Amino acid sequence: MKKGIKIFGLFLAIGLVILAGLYVLLGYYYTDGFPCFTWINGIYCTGKTVEELNKELVAQFELQDFTIKAAEGKKLVITPSDVDLKVDYTASLDRFLEESNPYAWGINVFKNLIIQYEPDITYDRAKLLDKVAAWDIFEEKEIRSVTIVRGEGYELVNELNKVPNKENILEAVNLSFDSGKKILDLTEKDGCYVDLPLSEKDKNTLKIFEKLDDVQTCGITYSVLGTEIAADKSVVSDWILTDRDLSDAVLEEVDKKTPGVGLFIAGDREIINLSEESIFNEDGFLFDSDGNLLISERKMYEFLKNIEDTYDTSWCMENYRNGTGTEIVLRDNSKGKGNLIEIDDEFDYLKAAFMGNTHKKPVTRDLAVVDGIISFDAAEKLGNTYIEVDMGKQELHYYVDGEINMEFPVVTGNINRGRGTPAGIYNVYNKRYHTYLRGVDYVSYVNYWLGVNKGVGIHDANWRSKFGEEIYKRDGSHGCINCPESQVSQLWEVVDVGTPVVLYY
């Protein structure tokens, strides 16, 4: 038994000696290569030489372009071949072998050695900088950095006031390229673009814009019939005279019948009639000798007159038909005036606000409604079937269930002789066929008659050959609504007594 144990011990010792020898032999083998169970950048490198492994690592490294972004969407792409870019892992691999113990390879049997190395990157820096320096963004351009344009009012365009700084851009490219970044956006780097020094012309343009903006910035809003109209930059900028207005402006002469004509505001004073000798043209804008922009009072008045002409009874009727309102306001008179608001006092206020430089203060102005108006709810008084006579346009419209059924020109009362057709909301009170109309100084035979208000009615007028336009001002009726027989005959057939009739100027 003891003999057997000795034999086993002998074989075990011999085996251990052999294994130790093999382990040492493998360690010696790995002295010129990488030990077993070693992975570098995903490549199994056991037994490989530095040269062999470096070749494989370089082959799997993906060379990428370097993109530089500049203003205005400009781009410059640097390819690896442009700068002779090369990658190499030799130094890292040599250092690994120098620092590793080849006879400690046995440890890797139980724990794989996984290593990640970044390569050494080399490139021709001169070629890189030469390519960037030759970029066309550095070409000298004639740049006007400050301009005034017309949009919603006058606006200052100051987008081209920066130019690329070559020295700072080259430095930024150096740093970004060395750090391994693939994209460099110059617009996000401080110092890559610098302000273009303003020329004297640019400085003057800035001064002109300051004056323009001071004038066109207006806080006045007008309220009329529930609607607000702002005298904002888009409106006021049109009042400022430019060189295109010069020839017409110098021909304007004061006309008492036409407010604003021949009158201009310059700072805190009013100028009566312009002369070319007293006007200075700078950048297309007209100034007086004190450097004040010139404002046309005529255009200012036209703005208010447009409000007066727009917001009238016909506007109310249109709102009713399109479903945006039911209130109808009309002027109760027979003098042919249809305006619902007065603007003369407001014109004086507006002029004073600009001459006193108070126009920038936010304020809402309720435009005064004239005396003697009628206001009614159209849904209650008119319904969907009614006759509408727009005496300003000299047109009759007949609506059935909210849709236009017929329309034709008319001639209403002669306003110059004080016989204007009275405006108001009425109803057809009778229908007559083949009847005589009698007045103090006339007797007229008509075929079709629709009584509207006392002795005022809608009827044919065969003695007329023309209807519409402005005939009523010089050759109008005694107050009735004269119509072409061929059309009023159709109206007479379908209109019932009690049908609403709205008459307005």
Residues 273 and 340 grouped into a single domain: yes
Residues 355 and 393 grouped into a single domain: no
Question: Mean pLDDT highest for which of 101-105, 248-252, 427-431?
Answer: 427-431
- For residue 416, the domain's CATH number is 2.40.440.10
With pLDDT > 90 as the criterion, what percentage of the chain qualifies?
69
- Smallest Cα–Cα separation from 415: which of 488, 339, 505, 341? 505
- For the entire predicted model, the pTM comes to 0.68
The first and second tokens of residue 155, run together, are 């606006």
* Cα–Cα distance measured from residue 412 to residue 504, given in angstroms and rounded to the nearest whole number: 11
**At which of 371, 390, 413 does a domain end?**
371
Is 470 a member of any domain?
yes
Q: Does residue 97 have a pLDDT over 90?
A: no
* Cα–Cα distance measured from residue 90 to residue 87, given in angstroms and rounded to the nearest whole number: 10
Q: Among 15-29, 219-233, 453-467, which stretch is predicted with the lowest mean pLDDT?
A: 15-29
* Cα–Cα distance measured from residue 263 to residue 265, given in angstroms and rounded to the nearest whole number: 7
**At which of 371, 391, 411 does a domain end?**
371
The first and second tokens of residue 315, run together, are 């506007």
3-state secondary structure of 503: strand
- Smallest Cα–Cα separation from 343: which of 300, 390, 375? 300
- The amino acid that residue 99 corresponds to is E
Considering its fold, how many domains does the chain have in total? 3
Predicted confidence at residue 14, as pLDDT, reads: 64
Mean pLDDT across 185-201: 88
Predicted confidence at residue 336, as pLDDT, reads: 86
Is 154 a member of any domain?
no
Describe the crossing of helices 166-178 and 125-133 by its angle, rounded to 10 degrees: 140
Is 169 a member of any domain?
no
**At which of 351, 371, 391 does a domain end?**
371
Residues 464 and 493 grouped into a single domain: yes
Predicted confidence at residue 273, as pLDDT, reads: 86
Residues 351 and 403 grouped into a single domain: no
CA 395 centroid distance within chain: 40
End-to-end CA distance of the chain: 140
Residues 488 and 417 grouped into a single domain: yes
Q: Among 395-409, 437-451, 455-469, which stretch is predicted with the lowest mean pLDDT?
A: 437-451
Is 133 a member of any domain?
no
CA separation (Å) from 396 to 259, 284, 385, 390, 488?
33, 49, 14, 6, 10
**Virtual CA dihedral for 332, 333, 334, 338, nearest 10 degrees?**
-80
Residues 322 and 213 grouped into a single domain: yes
Is 156 a member of any domain?
no
Question: 172-175 — which CB contacts under 8 Å span 24+ positions?
Answer: 173/68, 173/128, 173/129, 173/132, 174/125, 174/128, 174/129
3-state secondary structure of 137: helix
Q: Does residue 392 have a pLDDT over 70?
A: yes
The first and second tokens of residue 20, run together, are 């130790």
* Cα–Cα distance measured from residue 388 to residue 501, given in angstroms and rounded to the nearest whole number: 6
Q: Bin 392: left if φ > 0, else alpha if -120 < ψ < 50, else beta.
A: alpha
Q: Does residue 246 have a pLDDT over 60?
A: yes
Domain interval for residue 339: 202-310+318-371
Q: Where are the beta strands (DSSP E) in 247-362?
A: 263-266, 269-272, 280-282, 285-287, 294-296, 327-331
Is 270 a member of any domain?
yes
Q: What are phi and psi of 85, to 5 degrees?
A: -75, 135
At residue 381 the predicted structure's pLDDT band, cuts being 50, 70 and 90, is very high
Q: Where are the beta strands (DSSP E) in 145-278?
A: 147-151, 153-157, 162-164, 183-185, 193-195, 220-224, 227-230, 263-266, 269-272
Describe the crossing of helices 344-355 and 297-310 by its angle, rounded to 10 degrees: 140
Residues 333 and 418 grouped into a single domain: no
Q: What are phi and psi of 221, to 5 degrees?
A: -125, 140
Predicted confidence at residue 320, as pLDDT, reads: 97
Predicted confidence at residue 405, as pLDDT, reads: 98
Question: Mean pLDDT highest for which of 57-71, 322-336, 481-495?
Answer: 481-495
Q: What are phi and psi of 67, to 5 degrees?
A: -110, 130
Residues 264 and 398 grouped into a single domain: no
Residues 358 and 236 grouped into a single domain: yes
Question: Mean pLDDT highest for which of 22-31, 114-123, 369-378, 398-407?
Answer: 398-407
Predicted confidence at residue 183, as pLDDT, reads: 95
Residues 334 and 289 grouped into a single domain: yes
Predicted confidence at residue 393, as pLDDT, reads: 97
Predicted confidence at residue 102, as pLDDT, reads: 59
Predicted confidence at residue 146, as pLDDT, reads: 84
Q: Does residue 188 have a pLDDT over 70?
A: yes
Residues 29 and 108 grouped into a single domain: yes
Is 397 a member of any domain?
yes
DSSP conformation letters of 367-411: PPBPSSEEEEEHHHHTTTSEEEEETTTTEEEEEETTEEEEEEE-B
For 325-345, b/e burial (b = at least 16 CB within 10 A) is beebbbbebbebebbbbebee
Is 214 a member of any domain?
yes
CA separation (Å) from 249 to 240, 243, 244, 272, 473?
11, 10, 9, 11, 32
The first and second tokens of residue 336, run together, are 């042919």
Q: Does residue 105 have a pLDDT over 70?
A: no
Q: Does residue 16 have a pLDDT over 70?
A: no
Tokens 């390819």 belong to which residue? 79
The number of beta carbons lying within 10 Å of the beta carbon of residue 109 is 9
* Cα–Cα distance measured from residue 426 to residue 411, given in angstroms and rounded to the nearest whole number: 18
Q: Does residue 160 have a pLDDT over 70?
A: no
At residue 201 the predicted structure's pLDDT band, cuts being 50, 70 and 90, is confident
Residues 340 and 389 grouped into a single domain: no
Higher pLDDT among residues 373 and 111, named by residue = 373
At residue 104 the predicted structure's pLDDT band, cuts being 50, 70 and 90, is low
